[in-house]
Structure 1
């Protein structure tokens, strides 16, 4: 039974097709939140109770606004590997959300550079600084999160049967990503870490 004191989100999820995205969808649905997963191909996804799929992306602010429309909060998992691309997508997302009523954002990307700038190039530091600056100048209640190590290929069924029989080598990353997803949903539900930069250590 749902606790009436726990807020129910209609969560818009960018990056839903990643392993962490699948972990988040399972965790959110288990807590009776509604999920709108933004994807580029509806044919790859089967409908589930509480889970809706929408074509969209972060190519420009109009697309970002249309993708997020109807939600009450956003989690954006930025594609790993290129901080310049992540900075551009972050700017597009913030500009798009400014056209909606959504004010809560969890932004996940390669932001370790903010913790250890000396390990990164000047261009990478500049890109991370751009992300932090655009968030700080926005009206959003944001949380910036370092992307965890990925383990590609984990789907929703893996996370639904986390205590079942697993392929060799899958158990540890599965449980790690599930715990990170639970921590991220806690951050939303309890309205924690506004304006903070987090690194989940599990």
Structure 2
């Protein structure tokens, strides 16, 4: 059994990851900004705590001694994505490096997966202009990880383009590299529950050190 700290545990991905990790018998610390809004997360093997992933002192106090730390946090109302993602990753890298917080697993964004050599989804002409800033902020956080000290073992699991909130847990997925994964019909999709399987697998095994990789059906 491993202690796994999940930041952003109240979101769709975070909740699925908490459930998957607890279901495997891990000791899960579910970190949210407002515990009153997410009291239902508390259960067997899950402890609910309040914390701000951008607050370096709070993060350091939460991750010490963890076997793995998962960053599923997203900006809330009033947060600037351009600051939030880099601040969160910076706080996590510093805490893991300084406290022995274990493997750091982030949740990525399909917009920065490659569709051709050197061409990301977000670089294509059809990518919606209104999402470019958000995608760029996500990509900037990946750059923070790349600059992390060599002692920090990190990886980023990137979901498919179509993220199904209602899909069942099949326990199966494909793991690729930095390229967008599609099926035989050209679709790129995965359910939140199966994405959580991939994230917890990575937290347990660390099969993709210091890189990001796509997962899909």
2:142: which partner in 1? 131
1:180: which partner in 2? 195
1:140: which partner in 2? 152
- Mapped pair 1:69 → 2:64: yes
Distance 2:195 2:138 in 1: 25
Offset at residue 112 of structure 1 (A): 2.9
2:100: which partner in 1? 101
Distance 1:114 1:132 in 2: 14
For residues 9-48 of structure 1, the aligned pairs below 5 Å read 9-43=2-36, 44-46=38-40, 47-48=42-43
CA RMSD of aligned residues (A): 3.1
Offset at residue 124 of structure 1 (A): 5.7
Distance 1:16 1:122 in 2: 24
In structure 2, the CA distance between the partners of 1:18 and 1:122, relative to structure 1 (3 Å rule), is closer
SS of the counterpart of 1:140?
A: coil
Distance 2:123 2:200 in 1: 31
- Mapped pair 1:118 → 2:112: no
1:90: which partner in 2? 89
Provide TM-score, normalisation by structure 2.
0.68
SS of the counterpart of 1:12?
A: strand
Provide TM-score, normalisation by structure 1.
0.73
Distance 2:27 2:16 in 1: 14
1:80·1:109 contact (CA, 8 Å) conserved in 2? no
Number of aligned residue pairs: 178
Offset at residue 105 of structure 1 (A): 0.6
